[in-house]
Amino acid sequence: MTPSTLLLTFGLAVAPMAAVAAEATPVTRAFGNTVVSTYPDGRTALLWLKKDGTYTAKGRRRTASNGSWSLNSDKVCLKQAKPVAVLFRYCTELPSGESWRAKAVTGEPITVKIVKGVAS
């Protein structure tokens, strides 16, 4: 697995708690939509959060992955289960506005936005 794939491939194992906690947070905007992260080289990674606390993703090289997500204070955290289980989680700020700046797990600056519907 490449570091760029890791951006979308981490979270906490307590998935049902994530779904309950998400009821009153900005993360609900992502349900049924696509979270698109754009890297400095112009490539994009795609993330689909589900209400049940799971996610699926495609890294910027279109490598598929999945796992669970949770909320930790003002951040959403991802933990990858497949294709390889990862022992740590990646946390990033919750959505704010139409698009926002963040850092990939690699430290690269990215721009994140939620696109209506399920893009591929």
Domains of the chain: 3-115 (2.40.128.640)
Which pLDDT value is given to residue 2?
Answer: 40
CA 74 vs CA 25, 41, 62, 104: distances in Å = 9, 28, 28, 17
Give per-residue pLDDT as tens, 66-117: 999 999 888 899 999 999 998 889 998 877 778 899 998 888 999 999 999 9
Phi, psi of 5 (to 5 degrees): -70, -30
pTM recorded for the entire structure: 0.77
